[in-house]
Amino acid sequence: MIIIRILHEQAFLQMCNLPIKVVCRANAEYMSPSGKVPFIHVGNQVVSELGPIVQFVKAKGHSLSDGLDEVQKAEMKAYMELVNNMLLTAELYLQWCDEATVGEITHARYGSPYPWPLNHILAYQKQWEVKRKMKAIGWGKKTLDQVLEDVDQCCQALSQRLGTQLYFFNKQPTELDALVFGHLYTILTTQLTNDELSEKVKNYSNLLAFCRRIEQHYFEDRGKGRLS
Amino acid sequence: MAAPLELSCWGGGWGLPSVHSESLVVMAYAKFSGAPLKVNVIDNTWRGSRGDVPILTTEDNIVSQPAKILNFLRKQKYNADYELSAKQGADTLAYIALLEEKLLPAVLHTFWVESDNYFTVTKPWFASQIPFPLSLILPGRMSRGALNRILLTRGQPPLYHLREVEAQIYRDAKECLNLLSNRLGTSQFFFGNTPSTLDAYVFGFLAPLYKVRFPKIQLQEHLKQLSNLCRFCDDILSSYFRISLGAFSCVNRYQQQIDFGEVHSHDSTTRKLIASEWRHLSSWTRYGRCKSAETHTTCK
């Protein structure tokens, strides 16, 4: 989750041409006002999560979606919710509700900063919380195949919306592009027990090309791309 | 010959074929796509399930949840999205996600969590539709489910108080309504001149909010200012459900409480008695003893 979120916000800030410095801190979660990482620290203000960061940056006079009309802004917000609704939930499901992934990767990774037995307790607690949330939104009884089908449907919608354009709206990137890039890049580059999730994304060549384009354009100074 | 399709769903009121959003979505889609549905309204018999309503039953299948039911109907060749382009199909998914993320929490709150609304309108209505003792259990369970969903999806730090979550979800819902209104503009439906899946979803979510008479109505007031969305709901009601807009209007809120049993009742005096007993109990907890004594006398 941390990896995904860093990419959304970082991509957004770089698209705005704002100079940023990425700093890693072990107590980052506790420094953040919402408990979520990453967050931005500007002067004496601290803002976390993509939505508030976008609002903050907009208040300072930088916005990626000023050129959109009202109907396009509605569409952009709708597609952002689609990504949150389907992709984010599917990623959570795969991390915490797919027993194979949980056993082999998630538990160990989530509990790794903590000593025994805290590592197990916190991991189980997190898993219980996620399962509760899944049940509340109606994903409790979904199988892995159904979740993968939802991801496919979401990618298909994004691919159809993107078409042959460079970005989702006009020729300039918007918050939606940052969000989609963050999710797709993480899906494509994170190693899991099976590759089905990344295979679903790879079926859509325009989405792959989109991710490569953003990686090359905005992240090329961070070393060679991982999408080649 | 297609297998008969039966839909179990919650009943209607206030001029609507159903007051339950999900049931209304399916009913609207069936009308738009021409699917011949036999609608079985939940009543006070013990027939059928109430938990996961709406439920579509055919000879070989039982399907629940609106998205799955609509998919099933499409596979049976009842497709309201036939004329949509690929991009419009993608937009449909996106707008449905917007409705579920931004509007649904506030609708759930208005119906099931806001105490004045829940105890005076929602709980009595739903309790009056089902047999005793389920009427004592199910509305409470639905209310807890709604609160759970709101807190689990939106109640994360830094929003520690329910009041702050409420403020945020109503802000989001108003923004969502504005976005929908902008998107609809002056068109009759969201995509062209024929209704599609998105129209069914928007109608299903908006119509109960628009029509049901609540004591606490901040979201409803906001919706009523968006005249194109109101016109959208009224057009669908009059074209596809042929319910006149003046039906089921109630004189005032207190009268409305008494009207529940009569508008939706069958001829069961037992049922009216149970419903009135339940209103008495609701009033007792909500308004205190003085008012309940008055209600008790009136109902008896």
pLDDT tens digits along B139-172: 899 999 898 888 888 766 555 567 778 888 999 9
Give the residue on A whose Cα is nearest the Cα of B159.
A34
A160: which chain B residues are within 8 Å (Cβ-Cβ)? 86-87, 89-90
Q: In chain B, pLDDT over 90 holds for what percent of residues?
A: 41
pLDDT in 10s for each residue of chain A, 228 residues:
344 556 677 777 777 777 776 666 655 555 666 555 566 666 666 666 666 677 666 666 666 667 788 888 889 999 999 998 888 888 888 888 888 888 887 777 777 778 888 888 888 888 888 888 888 888 888 888 888 988 999 999 999 999 888 888 877 888 898 889 888 888 888 777 777 888 888 899 999 999 888 888 877 655 545 554
Q: How many CB pairs under 8 A join A and B?
A: 73
Give the residue on B whose Cα is nearest the Cα of A72.
B183
Cα–Cα dist A39/A41, whole Å: 7
* Mean pLDDT over the full length of chain B: 79
Nearest CA of chain A to the CA of B198: how many Å? 12
DSSP letters for B128-144: HHS-TTHHHHHHHHHHH
Cα–Cα dist A57/A78, whole Å: 21
What contacts B289, CB < 8 A, 6 or more positions away? none
A158: which chain B residues are within 8 Å (Cβ-Cβ)? 90
Nearest CA of chain A to the CA of B168: how many Å? 13
- Interchain contact A138–B (C-beta under 8 A): yes
Nearest CA of chain A to the CA of B205: how many Å? 16
Nearest CA of chain B to the CA of A175: how many Å? 15
Q: Which of A13, A100, A88, A93 is nearest to A57 (CA)?
A: A13
Nearest CA of chain A to the CA of B253: how many Å? 32
Q: In chain B, pLDDT over 70 holds for what percent of residues?
A: 75
Query: Residue B88's pLDDT is what?
Result: 92
The model's pLDDT over B193-202, given as tens digits with 9 standing for 90+, comes to 899 999 999 9
Query: Residue B143's pLDDT is what?
Result: 92
pTM: 0.79
What contacts A139, CB < 8 A, 6 or more positions away? A89, A93, A147
Q: Do the Cβ atoms of A71 and B182 come within 8 Å?
A: yes
Query: Residue B24's pLDDT is what?
Result: 94
pLDDT: which is higher, B21 or A33: B21
Question: Residue B98: is its pLDDT beyond 50?
Answer: yes
CB B97 within 8 A of CB A78: yes
Asked if residue B43 is part of any domain, the answer here is yes
Half-sphere exposure of A196 (CA within 13 A, CB side): 16
List the single range of A103-107, B107-111, B127-131 with lowest mean pLDDT.
Answer: A103-107
CB B32 within 8 A of CB B200: yes
Asked if residue B209 is part of any domain, the answer here is yes
Range of the domain at B182: 5-241
What contacts B67, CB < 8 A, 6 or more positions away? none
Query: Residue A46's pLDDT is what?
Result: 66
Query: Residue B211's pLDDT is what?
Result: 93
Query: Residue A49's pLDDT is what?
Result: 66
Give the residue on A whose Cα is nearest the Cα of B95.
A78
Query: Residue B251's pLDDT is what?
Result: 33
Question: Residue B210: is its pLDDT beyond 90?
Answer: yes
- Geometric angle at alpha carbon A78, from B7 and A15, rounded to 5°: 160
Q: What would the CATH number be for the domain defined by A66-220?
A: 1.20.1050.10
Q: Do the Cβ atoms of B91 and A161 come within 8 Å?
A: yes
Asked if residue B137 is part of any domain, the answer here is yes
Choose among B89, B148, B183: nearest Cβ to A136: B148
Chain B residues contacting A, CB < 8 Å?
65, 86-87, 89-91, 93-95, 97-98, 100-102, 145, 148-149, 152-153, 156-158, 179-180, 182-183, 185
Choose among A84, A138, A154: nearest Cβ to B101: A84
Q: Do the Cβ atoms of A82 and B97 come within 8 Å?
A: yes
The model's pLDDT over B227-276, given as tens digits with 9 standing for 90+, comes to 999 999 999 999 998 754 444 333 333 333 333 333 333 334 444 444 44
Cα–Cα dist B139/B120, whole Å: 13
Choose among A132, A138, A153: nearest Cβ to B93: A153
The model's pLDDT over A174-184, given as tens digits with 9 standing for 90+, comes to 889 888 988 88
Q: Which of B17, B3, B24, B9 is nearest to B73 (CA)?
A: B3
Asked if residue B135 is part of any domain, the answer here is yes
ipTM above threshold 0.85:
no
A35: which chain B residues are within 8 Å (Cβ-Cβ)? 156-157
List the single range of B112-126, B171-185, B273-287 with lowest mean pLDDT.
Answer: B273-287
Nearest CA of chain B to the CA of A190: how many Å? 25
Output the domain CATH number for residue B162: 1.20.1050.130
Query: Residue A11's pLDDT is what?
Result: 75
The total domain count for chain B is 1
